[in-house]
């Protein structure tokens, strides 16, 4: 479902592969476009592929027709012995090349640039759809990521042929150089929370999502697994009042707030901090709200002060945009920063 990316010039690549594998991530992307003037990277590439293989990691590699020369191997199909499961083909490969290579690899064609006529030619030529993947580019430069409408049009070509599609999201913290602007497929995801971007791609029908930047983020991996399996949304909170816990949400969804079930109480709650409530504010109804006393809400919109509602904390600023998912969640896992 989710994969990492590792790069040959990253001094922590081996460590990232091992950490991700231990946490259950078994897919990785790498690029084997190795400039000839940096031939010393060939040995590092072979070493990292071996590490990934030892940790049962499926590696999909970006390749060109020059990759065998740079890696000092006779031919592309020899990548199989190095631990490469699938290859993502650069421009310059003809239909005949792809048919031949499909005997050895899962083949990823560039979903961001391929034409419908070329995709049809591949299928007509006899390549089984289950051997093909549509794999989008990532875009290091700001303002060059894909447009959402174009993204959907490209995906539709693959979906019609029942070919899975893969895309990238940017890392949450560490960004890959030299631009350090994130490596998303969609431009709108460049500065979006990684979990939110990943969930949006899942809803678009994307089969697998790779973090384009080199970081391994265990929290994101766990949060995405929780979401996919149980629709649990994890949010960091800043409060001394509310216990860290997983809370069920009411099935009837409100416009302005997320309502936590089982939080009402018969104990007296005096009015306190009855101030305005910006989006992401955590509140508890006080005794002036009668039978609602103790009910905890998280604001989805900016709301005014109400003498019946106590402000008890707020969602961590970096997680507020995740509230976009709250209406689709079954539960909220609230944790302390």
**pLDDT tier for residue 130 given thresholds of 50, 70 and 90:** confident
User: Is the CA virtual torsion 123, 128, 129, 131 positive or negative?
Assistant: negative
Lowest mean pLDDT among 209-213, 216-220, 266-270: 216-220
What confidence score (pLDDT) does residue 37 get?
42
Q: Give the pLDDT of residue 217.
A: 82
Tell me the average pLDDT of the chain. 93
Q: Is 126 left (phi over 0), alpha (psi -120 to 50) or beta?
A: left
Q: Is 162 left (phi over 0), alpha (psi -120 to 50) or beta?
A: left
Mean pLDDT of 70-81: 91
| CA dist 318 → 171, 192, 223 (Å) | 14, 10, 15
**What pLDDT shows up at residue 216?**
81
How far apart CA 9 and CA 158 sit, in angstroms, is: 33
pLDDT tens digits, residue range 17-33?
999 999 899 999 999 98
Q: Is 268 exposed, middle or buried (0-12, 13-18, 19+ CB in 10 A)?
A: exposed
Query: Which residue would you say has higher pLDDT here, 98 or 39?
Result: 98
Q: Determine the pLDDT at residue 38.
A: 52
- Segment 216-244, tens digit of pLDDT: 888 888 888 899 889 999 999 999 999 99
Q: How confident is the model at residue 128 (pLDDT cuts 50, 70, 90)?
A: confident
Q: Which strands form 281-285's sheet, in the order they lie side by side?
A: 245-248, 331-336, 232-239, 309-315, 281-285, 296-299, 257-260
| Residue from 1, 44, 4, 45 nearest 21 by CA | 4
Residue 280 sits at the vertex; the CA angle it makes with 275 and 281, to the nearest 5 degrees, is 25
* CB atoms near residue 36 (< 10 Å): 9
Angstrom distance (rounded) from CA 7 to CA 195: 22
Q: pTM higher than 0.75, yes or no?
A: yes
């Amino acid at each position: 479902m989710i994969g990492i990316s590792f790069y040959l010039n990253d001094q922590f690549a081996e460590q990232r592969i091992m950490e991700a594998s231990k946490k259950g991530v078994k897919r990785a992307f790498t690029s084997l476009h190795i400039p000839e003037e940096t031939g010393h990277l060939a040995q590092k590439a072979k070493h990292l592929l071996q590490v990934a293989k030892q940790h049962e990691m499926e590696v999909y590699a970006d390749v060109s027709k020059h990759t065998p020369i740079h890696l000092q191997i006779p031919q592309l199909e020899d990548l199989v012995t190095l631990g490469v499961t699938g290859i993502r083909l650069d421009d310059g490969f003809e239909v005949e090349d792809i048919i031949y290579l499909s005997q050895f690899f899962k083949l990823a064609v560039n979903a961001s640039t391929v034409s419908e006529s070329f995709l049809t030619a591949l299928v007509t030529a006899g390549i089984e759809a289950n051997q093909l993947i549509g794999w989008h580019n990532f875009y290091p430069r700001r303002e060059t990521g894909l447009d959402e409408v174009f993204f959907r049009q490209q995906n539709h070509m693959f979906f019609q042929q029942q070919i899975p599609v893969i895309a990238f999201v940017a890392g949450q913290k560490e960004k890959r150089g030299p631009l350090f602007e994130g490596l998303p497929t969609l431009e709108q995801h460049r500065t979006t929370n990684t979990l939110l971007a990943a969930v949006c791609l899942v809803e678009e029908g994307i089969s697998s999502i790779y973090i384009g930047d080199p970081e391994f983020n265990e929290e994101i991996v766990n949060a995405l697994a929780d979401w996919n399996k149980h629709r649990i949304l994890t949010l960091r909170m800043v409060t001394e009042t509310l216990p860290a816990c997983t809370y069920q949400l009411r099935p009837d969804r409100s416009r302005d707030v997320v309502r936590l079930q089982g939080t009402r109480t018969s104990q007296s709650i005096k009015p306190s901090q009855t101030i305005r409530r910006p989006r992401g504010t955590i509140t508890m109804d006080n005794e002036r709200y009668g039978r609602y006393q103790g009910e905890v809400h998280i604001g989805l919109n900016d709301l005014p002060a109400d003498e019946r509602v106590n402000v008890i904390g707020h969602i961590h600023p970096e997680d507020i945009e995740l509230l976009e998912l709250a209406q689709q969640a079954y539960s909220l896992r609230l944790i302390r920063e």
